[in-house]
A and B are shown apart, each in its own frame.
Chain A
Amino acid sequence: MRDEIYEAPHGDPMELFEHVYVDPTGHYDRQRGMLQVELEARGADGGA
């Protein structure tokens, strides 16, 4: 498990919302959308 964690890809800001709940709510989707808008404003494509 340790190796899997270390080897997992990281650096995509949208990962912030991954694996928090098994069943995310609409509230989560709204916050995820807010971050997406921020990233687009930065000119980012989702990668750090």
Chain B
Amino acid sequence: MAVTLAQAINKALMDAMAEDEMVLVFGEDVGKLGGVFRVTDRLQDTYGDQRVFDTPLAESGIVGTAIGLAMYGYRPVPEIQFDGFSYPAFEQVVSHMAKMRNRSRGRVRLPITLRIPFGGGIGAVEHHSESPETYWAHTAGLKVMAPGTVEDGYSMMREAIASDDPVVFLEPKRRYWMKSDCELPIETQPTHRAVVRREGTDVSVFAYGPMVRTAMEAAEAADEEGWSLEVVDLRSLSPLDTETIVASVRKTGRAIVVHEAAQSLGMGAEIAARIQEQAFYHLEAPVLRATGFDTPYPPAMLEEFWLPNVDRILDRVESSLAY
């Protein structure tokens, strides 16, 4: 049966709420409307407006409410409607959601799953296409997940909700409508493990979220050039599965990191550092990055020039192989 990513996440929310009455869903337009991307469709009809409810347009308040509910034993799944709207909640996430367990010396757990549709590619206006993952991955105490497949959309969401640590769950909004023939529920690999989506021998390509599909398309195009790309879906950005990353680089000797986010101090920088720390003598070329530029996310009519695409990835592959 063909299932979209949005439907898979919706199903995960449905099933988690059925299993545990302490799971709550709230955010801007998630109730009556069912979410602007329909990810929370029918949840309020099914579980009522005491467990699925709309909030004011106040992201700091949404996260603050989630923290309070979690301290009282609930398992909140708040939604920030768009990535750029997460910045008003930054203080609540970084200073409280991430630190409460450490601050209370382990006495308080915050099993919150903070859902954030992220990234560009849908022709949206300002504040609707940001890639804030590095802010969260840089913050100790948070887990950060970014599914790149429909199956992971279900399985990783279930794992996030079951986690006793707070999770920032980044949903690749440009992929909400991608489909896969699968039966739900489904349990994929544990989230802390990266997955090799395509075996290859020449260059390792590391991607997550929306760029997994782009990396797979690049690998197919590379075949025509006679280049064998290994595509690794990172899935979890914090913790990061260094073991799988290093194993792939030891095999291929070359690495490209792909992400929509701006280049400087992005996930690519951290991954490159870990590779040179643990696989330096296996490298045949410098680790390269195919990313967004170090500029503000552009207006919709220019985003195709900003976002990494197959050509940008293949350019880095060619540079790596020519080194």
Contacts and interface: CB of A to CB of B under 8 A. Distances in A.
Interface string B255-298: 00000000110000000000000000000000000000111101
Contact of B301 (A11, A17, A31): A11
B305 A39 contact: yes
Interface string B229-264: 000000000000000000000000000000000011
A38 B312 contact: yes
A16 B302 contact: yes
B311 A16 contact: no
B312 A16 contact: no
Given A10-B299, A11-B301, A41 B311 contact: yes
A13 B301 CA distance: 9
A13 B305 contact: yes
Given A38-B311, A38-B312, A31 B302 contact: no
Secondary structure at the A interface, as helix, strand, loop or mixed, is helix
A1 interface: no
Contacts of B294: 27-28, 31
Contact of B293 (A11, A35, A42): A35
Contacts, number: 39
Interface in A9-43: 10-11, 13, 15-17, 20, 27-28, 31, 34-35, 38-39, 41-42
B82 interface: no
A6 B50 CA distance: 44
Interface in B296-319: 296, 298-299, 301-302, 305-306, 311-312, 315
A18 to B, nearest CB: 9
A42 B295 CA distance: 21
B305 A16 contact: yes
Interface of A: 10-11, 13, 15-17, 20, 27-28, 31, 34-35, 38-39, 41-42, 48
The 7 closest A-B pairs by CB, nearest first: A13-B305, A16-B295, A31-B293, A20-B295, A16-B298, A13-B302, A11-B301
